[in-house]
Amino acid sequence: QVQLVQSGAEVKKPGASVKVSCKASGYRFSGYYINWVRQAPGQGLEWMGWINPNSGDTNFVQKFKGRVTMARDTSINTAYMELSRLRSDDTAVYYCARDKVSGSPFYGMDVWGQGTTVTVSS
């Protein structure tokens, strides 16, 4: 079945970096954008950006520019999100999610990973 499986929980110190992976299965990985969404404890959802697995093109929210890197390895159907210079307010659950329609961002995200908890604490 179509699914996204993310890497496990991480605990990091302030100033460190974290890299979260998202492995896709059950569909053509290169055909669907992968989004990254995060949720701080007790808070709402925050869209961070997307990567086009086919081209490697990325687009992300201005507030993360300079700190976030999104990449993919098509040989193993895996997308990655790396966040650097971590702060305590980066503590959150990070989700990857697939666009519903191949090549189109307009129709929502229909397949989600299980989430990766990232805790930033000294």
Partner 1 sequence: DIEMTQSPSSLSASVGDEVTITCRTSQNIRDFLNWYQQKPGKAPELLIYSASSLQSGVPSRFRGSGSGTHFTLTINSLEPEDFVTYYCQQSYSSPRTFGQGTKVEI
Which residues are at the interface with partner 1 (CB under 8 A)? 35, 37, 44-47, 49-50, 59-62, 95, 97, 100, 105-110, 112-115
Contact partners, residue 12, CB within 8 Å, separation at least 6: 18, 86, 118, 119, 120, 121
If the CB atoms of residues 15 and 56 are measured against partner 1, the closer one turns out to be 56
Question: Taking the complex as a whole, how short is the minimal distance between the CB of residue 59 and partner 1, in angstroms?
Answer: 5
Residue 60's closest CA among 34, 41, 30?
34
If the CB atoms of residues 15 and 103 are measured against partner 1, the closer one turns out to be 103
Beta-bridge partner residues of 10: 118
Question: Taking the complex as a whole, how short is the minimal distance between the CB of residue 115 and partner 1, in angstroms?
Answer: 6
User: Please, are residues 2 and 109 in contact by the beta-carbon 8 Å criterion?
Assistant: no
If the CB atoms of residues 21 and 35 are measured against partner 1, the closer one turns out to be 35
